[in-house]
Amino acid sequence: MEWFSASEIARAVAAGERDAVAVADAALSRIATLNKKLNAFTDIAAVRARAKAKALDEAREQGKALGPLAGVPFAVKNLFDIAGVPTRAGSKINRGHPPAARDATLIQRLEAAGAVLIGGLNMGEYAYDFTGENVHDGASRNPHDLSRMSGGSSGGSGSAVGGGLVPLALGSDTNGSIRVPSSFCGIFGLKPTYGRLSRAGTFPFVTSLDHLGPFARNVKDLALAYDAMQGPDPGDPVCAARPAQPALAELERGVDGLRIAVAGGYFRKGASAEAMEAVERVASALDVRREIEIPEAERARSAAYVITATEGAALHLDRLRKRASDFDPAVRDRLIAGALVPAALVNLAQKFRRWYRHHVLELFREVDVILAPATPCTAPMIGQQTFMLGGVETPLRPNIGVYTQPISFIGLPVVAAPVPLKPLPIAVQIIAAPWREDAALRVAAALERAGVAATSAPRL
């Protein structure tokens, strides 16, 4: 069952060809075997999963309709509230919190569609991370090479889906934390429009920039999960009061009528040969020849960096006062620095954000989709401190997100589509205008049909 897609599992369970309990047991068995290698899971909800699966099997026996994700095992980054479990958010400090009283909204919605929660996933502390390393829980590992990073901060989500432990996972993306693990682990990830999916019941990082979204091994599963999670939620003041716009039915439409361009300028500077090859393969498959420049992308990345450092510091200020030595030092020192940044610079960053949004939205009058690298390189080694960016040795941790930050800064929807280069995969960002996840998913589906974007099974 390890490489079965969510849609195949749901069909088999709904048809009675396979029991949901057997599916959950198979996932739990694979986790028991492989989590020692991947370190993807931090919490395993075996009792809960079997109870939910049993209820699904009983419902089917009674002739009740099952949801579109019937029996599909899934897992969530451990900043999602899971009822009865402390929400650790990758930290030592928060694991001392009382257990969550209820599930996060997105868990509730996936389970309402028939999915079965299997557990919580490893992540970088407080989501301030691009590596997937965690000083408290150990690094989650890349399924294609266990000595390499899974990517952060949703590293466990990347390991779990890329390693075949579950077909579906959820993560968060503030500056690239869905797109980076998708790229390093070679899986599909969707960072929807800012405000599209409810963040209620998750531990925040930078509320100005926080998004949640799904990971999967194919585009259909990504759309299935995305559709099941859409809709307003008064529990998250940022969640838009707009009706769901299902994307699954759009996938077969192909790319006809979509105007697509490759991002030039900033997005070509510094990228490794692998990153550029992935973009070229995707552009070639789509017959895209147009190149556009996203104005002031480098400054946008700078502004996102400032807002992240300062809002993150504000969130953790009291913990920095009282329990500084309990933080991951790499996170603590950045948060302390963020607390000291003058407010005038933060205000200017937020003003620039509006300017930048206006000018990027102007671009979307001319194009529907923009292609850009997701990461400047394939997965680095765990523990690696520097890498070559544009021929210059550069600190690794803060710079893995150079291409993702200017996009999430203004909340644009993005599908990270993996290109299975050898020996390591790397993803391309398929970027659309706000609320046009459908366009990005259509392009990803077309690339998948063409065999250009795909998840390859690792040998574990």
Partner 1 sequence: MMRRPKQQKARKSGRKRTSQRKKPARSSRDPLDDFIVAGARALNLAIDPAWMAAVRGHLKVTLGLGLKVAAFALPDEAEPAPVFEA
- DSSP output for 118-135: EEEE--SGGG--SS---T
Among 10, 288, 349, 431, binds partner 1 (CB under 8 A): 349
> 269: Cβ–Cβ under 8 A, 6 or more apart, which residues?
390
Count the residues in the chain.
460
Q: Residue 252 gets which letter from DSSP?
A: G
Q: Does 344 bind partner 1 (CB under 8 A)?
A: yes
Q: Does 61 bind partner 1 (CB under 8 A)?
A: no
Among 59, 146, 276, 324, binds partner 1 (CB under 8 A): 324
Query: Hey, which residues are catalytic here?
Result: 77, 153, 177
Instruction: Rank residues 41 and 356 by Cβ distance to partner 1 and give the closer one.
Output: 356
CA distances from 414 to 182, 253, 439 (A): 12, 18, 10
Instruction: Rank residues 165 and 206 by Cβ distance to partner 1 and give the closer one.
Output: 206
Question: Nearest distance from residue 320's CB to partner 1, in Å?
Answer: 6
Question: Nearest distance from residue 413's CB to partner 1, in Å?
Answer: 17
Q: Which of 419, 430, 300 is nearest to 355 (CA)?
A: 300
Among 44, 285, 292, 345, binds partner 1 (CB under 8 A): 345
Q: Does 306 bind partner 1 (CB under 8 A)?
A: yes
How many residues in the shown chain lie near partner 1 by CB under 8 A?
39
Q: Does 316 bind partner 1 (CB under 8 A)?
A: no
Question: Nearest distance from residue 170's CB to partner 1, in Å?
Answer: 25
SS3 326: helix
Q: Does 329 bind partner 1 (CB under 8 A)?
A: yes
Among 309, 389, 402, 445, binds partner 1 (CB under 8 A): 309
> 138: Cβ–Cβ under 8 A, 6 or more apart, which residues?
39, 122
Q: Does 93 bind partner 1 (CB under 8 A)?
A: no
Q: Where are the alpha helices (DSSP H) in 3-65?
A: 6-14, 20-38, 46-61
- Show the beta-strand stretches assigned E in 174-321: 188-191, 211-216, 260-263, 291-292
Burial class (CB in 10 A: 0-12, 13-18, 19+), 3: exposed
Burial class (CB in 10 A: 0-12, 13-18, 19+), 17: exposed
Element (H, E) at 109: helix 105-112
Question: Nearest distance from residue 129's CB to partner 1, in Å?
Answer: 14
Residue 230 CA to residue 309 CA, distance in Å, equals 29
Site for partner 1 in 350-369 (CB under 8 A): 350-355, 357
Site for partner 1 in 362-421 (CB under 8 A): 398
Instruction: Rank residues 65 and 344 by Cβ distance to partner 1 and give the closer one.
Output: 344
SS3 55: helix
CB-CB neighbours of 248 under 10 Å: 21
Beta bridge partners of 263: 292
Residue 415 CA to residue 413 CA, distance in Å, equals 7
Site for partner 1 in 274-303 (CB under 8 A): 296, 298-299, 302-303
Instruction: Rank residues 269 and 299 by Cβ distance to partner 1 and give the closer one.
Output: 299
Mask: binding to partner 1, 151-190, rule CB under 8 A, as x and -?
Answer: ----------------------------------------
Choose one: 74-82, 150-158, 279-287, 342-350; the region binding partner 1 (CB under 8 A).
Answer: 342-350
Q: Does 332 bind partner 1 (CB under 8 A)?
A: yes
Question: Nearest distance from residue 174's CB to partner 1, in Å?
Answer: 15
Burial class (CB in 10 A: 0-12, 13-18, 19+), 194: buried
Among 32, 112, 249, 348, binds partner 1 (CB under 8 A): 348
Q: Does 338 bind partner 1 (CB under 8 A)?
A: yes
Q: Does 342 bind partner 1 (CB under 8 A)?
A: yes
Sign, Cα dihedral of 199, 205, 207, 210 = negative
Residue ranges binding partner 1 (CB under 8 A): 208, 296, 298-299, 302-303, 305-306, 309, 317, 320-321, 324-325, 329, 332-334, 336-342, 344-355, 357, 398
